[in-house]
Structure 1
Amino acid sequence: MVVFWAQLAGGAGTGAWSIGLSGAIAFCICALPYSRRTDPEITRADWIFLVASLSVLLTWFLTSDAMWAVVILTAVGLADFAPTFRAACPQPFREQTTFFALGAVRNVLVILALEHYSVTTVLFPLAGGVACIALVALISHRRWRLRG
């Protein structure tokens, strides 16, 4: 949600709404298991990502520049891909390429819908789109190598 607010502050306009909706959905997805206590294990990595994510609010406040919040959250978001990349190498058939391909398409559409282009508005969807494309390429390549 912070990227959504930062993009709005950076002049993204209606192009930011998809990021806002995705953030709201992600929040609900994270809150649901916690509220039902279906996955009570909170790991050290969970705390690290939470602290890193919350640090952007302080950074934004201290610098008065939404760009730095977006830069930090983009780095955190890309780090979130690491376990998926690691798991996709030995077991590429467990990951759905369609999901990540749709993520890449969504991010292209977000960029096209932006009303103002700057690091603050473009970095997050661009990085996410590139990560999705890289993951689809990795999964496809690993599947091809395992079949042949």
Structure 2
Amino acid sequence: MPYNELLSAAAITLTLVAFYPYLHGIIQGIVKPHVFSWVIWGSTTFVVFLAQLQAGGGVGAWPIGVSGAITLLIAVLAYLKRADLTITGADWFFLVAAISSLPLWYASSDPMWAVVVLTAVDLLGFGPTVRKAYAAPHSESLTFFGIFAARNIIVVMALEHSSVATVLFPAAIAVACIFLMILIVYRRRVLAATPP
């Protein structure tokens, strides 16, 4: 098996390993994802997958496609299970920004600009989850975001062609996952140290 295919298979495996307990946690009511974040992440991730394929990402893009499909499933579960439907004005801003990016990609027809716009929007999608994780840091899974940071680093290594269009999204998401993990750990420590 070629190097890129092996890395892609490893990244897909990490995707499934990360999502299984997250999905299980949603079903049990332990993990409460913010529905807007997951709608944004699902739509942008899947469109980035298509743009990466168009830009020559090859087998290295497949983990992003698998992730996009499962992310959309989480958005549906978040809504159906009423996980976190607390919607603020900023959350609406993030959602509108995400939706408005799709026509921009269509108009440009350039996978690089599509990925740049969609990466920016996907990072905005972290907004509602960062807000929620700050207030309720135990409502998110450190393991999930840790596995996704590692998965995205492997995705970058698995790409058949490296360019802005293929590398930007997984690299930026890895950094965002690491930031979110740091925030969750910090807030858990602050809350643990605060007397009731």
- The TM tier, using the shorter chain, reads 0.7 to 0.9
Alignment of 1:51-90 (within 5 A): 52-90=97-135
Percent sequence identity over matched residues? 51
> How has the CA–CA distance of structure 1 residues 26 and 126 changed in structure 2, closer, same or farther, with 3 Å as cutoff?
same
> How has the CA–CA distance of structure 1 residues 21 and 62 changed in structure 2, closer, same or farther, with 3 Å as cutoff?
same
- The answer as to 2:156 corresponding to 1:111 is yes
Distance 2:76 2:190 in 1: 39
Q: Which residue of the partner structure matches residue 144 of structure 1?
A: 189
- The answer as to 2:188 corresponding to 1:130 is no
What displacement does 1:38 show?
A: 6.3
Q: Which residue of the partner structure matches residue 92 of structure 1?
A: 137
Distance 1:21 1:46 in 2: 26
Stretches of structure 2 lacking an aligned partner (at least 5 in a row): 1-45
What displacement does 1:144 show?
A: 2.6
What displacement does 1:63 show?
A: 2.4
Distance 2:72 2:139 in 1: 25
SS at match of 1:11: coil
Moved more, 138-147 or 18-27: 138-147
Q: What amino acid sits opposite 2:116 in the alignment?
A: V
Aligned residues: 144
> How has the CA–CA distance of structure 1 residues 87 and 30 changed in structure 2, closer, same or farther, with 3 Å as cutoff?
closer
Q: What amino acid sits opposite 2:141 in the alignment?
A: Q
> CA-to-partner distance for each residue in 1:26-85, whole Å, 9 max, x for gaps?
233445677xx666x8x7856963x64454453334323111111121112111111221
Distance 2:182 2:63 in 1: 24
Q: TM-score, normalised to structure 1's length?
A: 0.80
Distance 2:76 2:171 in 1: 27
Asked whether the equivalents of residues 94 and 124 of structure 2 are also in contact (C-alpha less than 8 Å), the reply is no
Stretches of structure 1 lacking an aligned partner (at least 5 in a row): none
What displacement does 1:17 show?
A: 0.1
